[in-house]
Chains A and B, each alone.
Chain A
């Protein structure tokens, strides 16, 4: 019997159609004695892709970790749908179940493909009865056609590109309201890269996606907004076309010309 794919709607408290999805103000983060983020301001709309670019050590990955609460010792204000994430109902764990994070290196659990997809779903009964959800999110991650016949096979048997798409499906299964991707295609082949980019674009039609990348061509292809970070600060935020055609800041122009930044 064919299962009807379930429509994935993010479940978030008090979603307001006209508000921004994410608003960050004056975010500072120190790791040990090193300042990692300094006065970061960022606004994300309800839908669309925002790519975070910048040289290594600019604080891009750290910013993602602050947003999903893996780092908690920051100062400043992070609001998700108008709610301060420090006071998220149910605490940091609940916050993380609303913010999907995809790491640079795919990390699948040593279980079956299906078990990986539903790993973050709460309750074992819900996990057992999640066939429709499994199909829906695997389709959204552009992986269904490749794995539908072997859902109980070990996830480690998938290629790296497939594993990364499995991680995206796993993050989607918790029905996040915001998707964070940390260089999701850094170690993947061009075909996998293309599939993930397509998947990200289609997801961005229904939710905000914040994607860190070192690949400027990828940032162009993804479109949407571009945020250029350097040395822990946001240097420029603009829509994709204006940023690449007419960067306003000298640092941005240098980075686009030479891929270096001397902030």
Chain B
């Protein structure tokens, strides 16, 4: 066995567990959770487990989607505004500062955002444990990711487009609207979908600010609490002694995985479909 073969074996030996362990984990979740899935599990909200827990996850599914989509909607204009500021107005020094700040914000543990939301939105502003409080906190969690993604999308636009548009006398606003956004929208939309997927996978920020365990199917207003798949799994997992409850937790985990995967795959599809920025604009 020569040195080259040995180094290959070492590399594969290091890479394999990294691929194998998540694969095994995923397979186990599917193995345990798939039997729980049924039409009534996905689309009913009937109580059936005692202690107020529902045997179907319709309410949790709706709550998770509502929170994630609302968070993405709240964060998008600010993300786009920050990205445009970065590209148009910020000096090199400000760009470096902003990039550092965004990376730092990304590394803040989500539970800290949850604590901030509990103190400021729930108690200080008296919004209570509500859809609004949770959506804004989730928006804060995904904002740095959306900004960095929007910046990357804008930076992929060939500089010659901008110069050609400016040479024709287009002002900043027209260059943004007719060149930048037309070119960058697939990348920005891909970022939004990844943001929704990220928001769907967050539990800690909404635990204190948006969710209750049961009693809600569709929130009456943005000031009403919601139930979500993430927190549903969290609460049910604490009832480890009841096999029926644990079965519902596994089923909920599969549904949550499916949701996250659906948004991530849609994002991937869009990224591949429009990887070449030279797609046709809307105006003929």
Contacts and interface: CB of A to CB of B under 8 A. Distances in A.
Interface in A24-44: none
A174 B284 contact: no
Interface string B151-181: 0000000101101111111110000001100
Contact of B168 (A111, A114, A154, A171): A171
Interface in B113-145: none
B281 interface: yes
A167 B283 CA distance: 17
Interface in A238-263: none
B279 A120 contact: no
B15 interface: no
Contacts of A167: 164
B280 A107 contact: no
**Majority-rule SS of B interface residues:** loop
B5 interface: no
B166 A70 contact: yes
B4 interface: no
B183 to A, nearest CB: 8
A144 interface: no
A235 interface: no
Nearest to B183: A110
Give the contact-size bracket for chain B: 20 to 34
A201 interface: no
Interface in A129-188: 152, 154, 156, 167, 170-171, 174
B278 interface: yes
Nearest to A96: B169
Interface in A72-122: 93-98, 100-101, 103, 105, 107, 109-112, 114-115, 119-120, 122
Given A109-B161, A109-B179, A101 B284 contact: no
A115 B283 contact: yes
Given A107-B161, A119-B165, A93 B170 contact: yes
Contacts of B170: 93, 120
A68 interface: yes
A110 B280 contact: yes
Contacts of B279: 110
B168 A156 contact: no
B168 A119 contact: yes
A156 B278 contact: yes
Nearest to B168: A120
Interface of B: 158, 160-161, 163-171, 178-179, 183, 277-281, 283-284
Given A97-B168, A171-B168, 6 more contacts: A93-B169, A107-B158, A110-B281, A119-B178, A122-B169, A124-B283
14 contacts: A93-B166, A93-B169, A93-B170, A93-B171, A94-B169, A107-B161, A107-B163, A107-B164, A110-B279, A119-B178, A120-B165, A156-B278, A171-B168, A174-B168
| A-B pairs, 5 with minimum CB distance | A97-B169, A120-B168, A101-B167, A96-B169, A110-B278
